[in-house]
Amino acid sequence: MRFEFFPLSRYNLRNAFRGRRLEKIRFKDSKGHKLVGEFYSPIKPSDKLPLVVYSHGLYSSMKSNKSAVFRDKLPAAGFGFFVFDAYGVGESEGKFKETTLTSRIDGLKSAIDTVSSRDDVLTNKVYLVGSSFGGLASLCVAAQNDKVKAMVLLAPAVNFCYKNFEPTEYPELDSTAFEDVRKYDPYKVAEKIKIPVLIIHGDKDEEVPFETSIELVKHIKNAKLVTIEGADHRFDNKKDFDLLVEKTVNFLITVSKKRKHYS
């Protein structure tokens, strides 16, 4: 464990946090693969912490721009924040070409089980934030994990499950990735979810059609869709990115203050 102090992020968010505690966590998925993550928390927490587990996109990692900001903002708001490298990514074990939706789901389940068992975490206040492919994995996990009490999906890549892939589109992945993803029906999965869900999507997304989130929100009982006009898939524009962060953090603060949590 170590303490880190750092300058404000390049996004210059209001009230950005200048210090937090970082702990490297190593754990295993159900197949025994070694995964690596980082747990961020306030330096001097006054009580047990609500937990946010972040799942990164297909080609991303725990060092992404989004997780870099959330690891500052969420501890500042009183949360524990856990982000990890999926199987085959970054510091975790495995080969990226072997990535599947099933392996991402498995890793996320193991991450939740590992971190929610900590003594400094509130087991009844576990929330997910998933970006793109990580959003798809988060959706699938939330539908079958009673520990998850709310969720934010950032341009969730549900189109992966309905798309006819050409081998040249994703040459880094084995064909098993495309066979595996077709086993899932996100819209059907979504109908099992009863917890509060916030979906954030840009209407100029060039990778995951905005229309997929319009459809997805219809299948979740307690969901809200926030449209960021003009935003692309990565929310590269600073104004779009800041709005995404603001909406995400405010939603998590709101649900964490509610006494009733859904299962």
Across the range 12-32, mean pLDDT stands at 77
Tell me the range of 11-20, 151-160, 253-262 where mean pLDDT is highest: 151-160
Residue 72 in contact with residue 5, Cβ under 8 Å? no
With cut-offs at 50, 70 and 90, classify the pLDDT of residue 185: very high
Residue 23 in contact with residue 49, Cβ under 8 Å? no
Q: What is the mean pLDDT of the chain?
A: 92
Across the range 209-219, mean pLDDT stands at 98
Looking at residue 207, its pLDDT comes to: 96
* CB neighbour list of residue 21: distance below 8 Å, 6 or more residues apart: 1, 2, 3, 4, 40, 41, 42, 43, 75
With cut-offs at 50, 70 and 90, classify the pLDDT of residue 163: confident
Looking at residue 2, its pLDDT comes to: 42
Q: Global pTM?
A: 0.91
Rounded-to-integer distance, Cα 66 and Cα 82, Å: 13
With cut-offs at 50, 70 and 90, classify the pLDDT of residue 9: very low
Across the range 147-161, mean pLDDT stands at 98
List phi, psi (to 5°) of 6. -155, 160
List the domains of the chain with CATH numbers: 2-257 (3.40.50.1820)
Rounded-to-integer distance, Cα 84 and Cα 82, Å: 7
Which stretch of 45-49, 100-104, 191-195 has the lowest confidence by average pLDDT? 45-49
How many whole angstroms from its chain centre is CA 28? 18
